[in-house]
Structure 1
């Protein structure tokens, strides 16, 4: 039998730490290995081919560390790279390993929260351009209309810890106004970028009272727990000593400082090159 290893969790930078936080809360006994490709972030404005290549580099790195299961805790990577990696690369690269994303778990259940059958998606330009959310939601909830709004300023605002200044509130109001102009019966809004939960309080200030605001972390964590129950052969390959390790492709000092805000506690990372 192959040696058990941590579950790999990948993001272009810090945002995936909000997903990892929920994974650890849901599955505290499991080992997790996090990699942030901060040196090449952001992914949201890059081409499909570039995001695919960067994400494949990271997946190969996780496999080289012994990981059998990798979670792309990044909406842009999930939207632009996951399908190609699953269909074209895994069969020859590592047919016994698995790569999962954050879009499918959200789209499988989001319709359960809506009474009007109108849903709003707040995301990066790359995720919106991929059209992944409307495509996936239609598979599970064909009666639902999906409206998307790209919020290109939100990630740099969050990474620079500028969530409470006047300019930030301007961009939040502007993006939400655009979204609700597209669909005035929206009753569920999904934060389809793992950075956005850090700005949840500010976003809620400008949302209509009846609108439900969903983050992905808890949804993805429940989905992974269910996946491991349904796939005991993969669960056996996941090491369970409760150990967490963090890696970044950029400066560890910056990652540790900013990353702690996303993860909710202090962390110490190591540098790697992809």
Structure 2
């Protein structure tokens, strides 16, 4: 390995999300790639992205990407399904020398590998479901797949409030999942795989699994994205071999609230004083 590639491998990974949900991806990256330095940027001033136009989301993503590029990252992870659905290709074009990874493609790939009968469910926010990014990605890999998609935006609020389990949470989960469960029961082959198509949703994984039963495989886009990043860095000889990497946090608003909500999604310590407040809107989009 050349000196140049050694230096490149020591650069951090940038992780971008509209808020706190992407911390589930950060958590998996830290778990699967403990030697990597990670920089997380949450655009908390403009969350949620799900109600914004594709044009606005792409502009925000460009601004965030430039902020992280200025920190000399080696790879950018778009830890947001809304951003991944509309902005991966524009960013790859705008940043041809940077590896850009979204969460949709790894999640779709994992669901196609996990399903036994080709009947796959997708739950996400309303914008991700209506964009049909997961549906397209799954059908590209498996044209014969049967896909049921359901918006479960209420899960975002549950996750952020720390309501992850218990009877009430399971009742809400069951109510939200009832359309996709009914559609599956009316089909010839029942759904055997469900994609958690929002980075908030892994926080509710145990409750979702209890409602659906153990026969339905849950595909966590955070886990699959981290595995994909690990493979990509290994293939490019860009793995950082240090024993333990550092994690930095940046937000565009409300570092105190970010620190308060972070433990719902991230297992490490997040102190308000260690969170950098940044302005990314001065970048053109």
Instruction: Tell me the equivalent position of 1:148.
Output: 149
Q: Tell me the residue number matched to 2:22.
A: 16
Counterpart contact for 2:120–2:145, Cα < 8 Å: yes
Give the equivalent residue in structure 2 for 1:62. 68
TM-score (norm 1): 0.90
Distance in 2 between residues matched to 1:111 and 1:99, nearest whole Å: 22
1:243-262: CA deviation from partner (whole Å, max 9, x where unpaired) = 11111111111111111221
CA RMSD of superposed structures (Å): 2.0
1:253 aligns with 2:259: no
> Alpha-carbon deviation of 1:164?
4.8
Question: Which residue of structure 2 aligns with residue 42 of structure 1?
Answer: 48
SS in 1 for 2:73: coil
Separation of aligned partners in 2, 1:193 and 1:45: 14
State whether structure 2 residue 203 is matched by structure 1 residue 198: yes
Which sections of structure 1, spanning at least 5 residues, go unmatched? none
TM-score under structure 2 length normalisation: 0.87
2:268 counterpart of 1:262: no
State how far apart, in whole Å, the 2-side matches of 1:158 and 1:25 are. Answer: 20
Give the SS at the match of 1:33: strand
Does the C-alpha gap of structure 1 residues 32 and 239 become closer, same or farther in structure 2, counting only changes over 3 Å? farther
> 2:197, 2:223 → 1: CA distance?
13
How far the C-alpha of 1:170 sits from its partner, in A, is 4.2
Task: Give per-residue Cα distances to partners, 1:175-227, cap 9 Å, x unaligned.
Answer: 21111223331011111111111112222231133111221222111111110
User: How many residues were matched structurally?
Assistant: 266
Within 2, Cα distance between the matches of 1:80 and 1:112? 24
CA distance 1:164–1:22, change in 2 (3 Å): closer
CA deviation after TM superposition for structure 1 residue 167, in Å: 6.2
Q: Check 1:205–1:37 CA distance in 2 against 1; reply closer, same or farther (3 A cut).
A: same
1:35 and 1:201 mapped to 2: Cα distance?
27
Match of 2:34 among 20, 28, 49: 28
CA distance in 1, matches of 2:241, 2:250: 18
The answer on 1:85 being equivalent to 2:91 is yes
Name structure 2 gaps, 5 residues minimum: 281-285
The secondary structure found in structure 2 opposite 1:66 is coil
* Moved beyond 3 Å, runs of 4+: 1-4, 162-171, 238-241
5 Å matches for 1:167-182? 168-182=169-183
